[in-house]
Amino acid sequence: MTLKDEFVRELKDTYNKSLTQLPFSKYSNISIGAGVATFILSFLAGFVLHVRILETSLLMRVLLALILSVVVTLAVEMPILFYPHYKASSNKNRIDDGLIYTVSYMTILANSGFSVERMFDRAAEVEKNYVIKQLLSSFLTDISVFGFDLEKSLTRLSEQSPSKVFSRFIDSVKNAIWTSGELKLLMNYQFDTQIQNRKEKTESTLNSLMFLSEIYIALMIVTPIMMILMVTLLSALSIRSNAFASTTILNSIVFVALPFMAAGFLVVLDTMRGAD
């Protein structure tokens, strides 16, 4: 398997775990089309711009236009390629956050004598976590619409899940069906395990949030204030010709750097603990 095939396989697997409704074939076509269109348009725009503002050779203009088009194309393609990873990570956190409630409800159903299919059906009806609800609905669709047997449907559900915790839970259910067939003990054990995992995750999240809060204060409050003071003092001590440069730096800090840093922190927080 070549490096390209490996990259496509991993991207497709991540995209499937992002649970996006758009098929992967259309996503790949959009990604390729956007990259090609961006490269061509940015090359033409860069070439025309360099012809008008630079007095240099044709080869140098072409090279500069190529460099500009590559940079712009990467700037467009990176968010498109990163989106499945971000979405899969967000779905994973949502599943991990809500799985304890799903398992607790399934434990009640299992102790009441429900079969696996009926248990998943009832859980899908009352599930509030839309990611888990989507996975459970996909499992029921495989059985009722596509006619897959229980084992294959559970296997597909485990492979589709972006959460390893949820996948292990589904695998344990599948193993219990084909060994003892007893779900009561398994569900009680899974519920106790989820309680313990939630305690450990809460402690880890609190520690991470404390660390991020210190970084946030240092980068978003202290550093901008120090930079603004330094630029202001330097502009006051320098000649007036540097006033425009100082104003540009201040505007860049306030209107460009700070919003991008704030957006980065939001992405980190959402990736780390998921949205409620």
> Whole-structure pTM over 0.85, yes or no?
no
Model confidence pLDDT, tens digit, residues 190-223: 999 989 888 888 888 788 888 888 888 888 888 8
Check residue 275 and give its pLDDT: 42
CATH number (1.10.10, 2.60.40, 2.30.30, 1.20.81) of 94-199 reads: 1.20.81
Residues 75-95, mean pLDDT to the nearest whole number? 90
More confident residue, 265 or 166: 166
Residue 250's contacts (CB-CB under 8 Å, 6 or more residues apart) are 228, 231, 232
Check residue 208 and give its pLDDT: 82
More confident residue, 102 or 236: 102
The domains of the chain are located at 3-88, 94-199, 202-273
Rounded to whole angstroms, the Cα distance separating 97 from 132 reads: 10
Rounded to whole angstroms, the Cα distance separating 79 from 72 reads: 12
Quickly state the pLDDT bin for 238 (edges 50, 70, 90).
low
Model confidence pLDDT, tens digit, residues 31-46: 999 999 999 999 998 8
- Helices (H) and strands (E) counted in the chain, each on its own, are 11, 0
Q: Inform me whether the pLDDT recorded for 154 exceeds 90.
A: yes
Residue 132's contacts (CB-CB under 8 Å, 6 or more residues apart) are 94, 95, 98, 99, 102, 166
Check residue 163 and give its pLDDT: 92
